[in-house]
Amino acid sequence: MNISVLVDHERTQADPRRLEQMFERIVRAGHPITRIMPASPGGRTIEVEDDPELKPEWVAAQYRVPMTGPPWTQRLVAGRLEHFLLTHDVEVIWAIGIESWGLARRLSRRLQCPLAVSIWCPAVARRVVRLRRSTISSYIVPTR
């Protein structure tokens, strides 16, 4: 299963080592990952930046995009990302971080593939309830 993971800036900064370890385990289990990261802070470009030099070797592809912005910007970003994700045969969109939810939902609809949303604390669980449940296929929660 090919997975596209969208990680927002907050989650990227919160525990980068744990995220990297989790992604590596998923790849070792035979599931390629296309990682979508937030564009540089303050960057307002709507371009999709291919980021091959800074990506770990285990990532199939890595792109940097603005995660937030007005709806028309998010539509443009989703449209441009769709082209790249189709070349990687993405089967699941996985949103990690609140700022990634909007773009992940758009991509899920455009690519007609399931959307998984990570929940890491009770406050996020309360916020995710506001999303239209019909667009979310599964929730991922930490366990020990």
Residue 137 corresponds to which tokens in the numbers above? 């296929």
- For residue 32 the two structure tokens come to 């390629």
Question: Residue 53 pLDDT more than 60?
Answer: no
- pTM metric for this prediction: 0.82
Q: What is the pLDDT of residues 81-100, one digit of tens each?
A: 888 888 888 999 999 988 88
Q: Given pLDDT bands bounded at 50, 70 and 90, which one contains residue 114?
A: very high
Instruction: Tell me the sheet residues that pair with 7.
Output: 96
Amino acid at site 114:
P
- Above pLDDT 90, what percent of the chain? 16
Per-residue pLDDT tens for 54-75?
566 667 777 888 877 788 888 8
Contact 8, 33 (CB under 8 A): no
β-pair type (61-65, 92-96): unpaired
Q: Does 40 score more than 80 pLDDT?
A: no
How far apart, in Å, are the Cα atoms of 39 and each of 34, 74, 78, 93, 100? 15, 13, 14, 18, 12
| pLDDT recorded at residue 95 | 92
pLDDT digits (tens, 9 = 90+) for 10-32: 888 888 888 888 888 999 999 99
* Closest by CA position to 38, among listed 60, 20, 11, 15: 11
The third-level CATH classification (topology) of the domain covering 7-122+129-140 is Rossmann fold (3.40.50)
Instruction: Please count the other Cβ atoms lying within 10 Å of the Cβ belonging to residue 22.
Output: 14
Domain regions of the chain by residue span: 7-122+129-140
